Structure formats: structure tokens, C-alpha cells
Amino acid sequence: MAGNFLEIVELASGEIVLRRSGDEDNKPLLTLSFSSEAKSFLQGNHLGIAKVMFDAGLNEVSRQGESSARAEDLAEDRVLH
């Protein structure tokens, strides 16, 4: 069942990555890094902010996919009874 879930991990380098949980090569799907100035401004809440940013991105991808599917449905001839 590895790879069915996503996880957010802060690496030793300070980068925050989104990757598939249990992925053997640990290849990140997305990488986010905050400058030390940004981390200071966020007062240690950078992981929470990263989670919100990743969530927003994934929600937008999902929304666009739904819009695209609806547009394809409307482009086809349909018979309604």
C-alpha cells in the first residue's frame, strides 16, 4: 500500500518536501524552502504554512481537473430523455 498517501517532511537541509509515503527512493513531488528571514518572521510556524501551501496547490489542481472534465462533457453531443 506504499505510495497511496502523501507526507510532508522537513529534510535535514531545511527544505520541506511533499512525497509519497513509503516511496523507496524518497523522490519529492514538490519542494519548498523558506529563507531564514521568512522562518524568523513566521516564528517557527513554517511547517504549518507549508502544509497550507501544499493543500492549496493540490486543491487547485483538483479544481482545474474537474473544470476540464466538465468542459469536455459539454463539448460532446448528449441526448437527454
Q: Which residues pair with 18 in a beta bridge?
A: 8, 30
Predicted TM-score (pTM) of this structure: 0.69
pLDDT 10s digits, 10-64: 999 999 999 998 877 889 999 999 999 999 999 989 999 999 999 999 899 888 8
Does the residue 60 lie in any domain?
Answer: yes
Does the residue 17 lie in any domain?
Answer: yes
Q: Structurally, how many domains does the chain consist of? A: 1
Domain that holds residue 54: 6-75
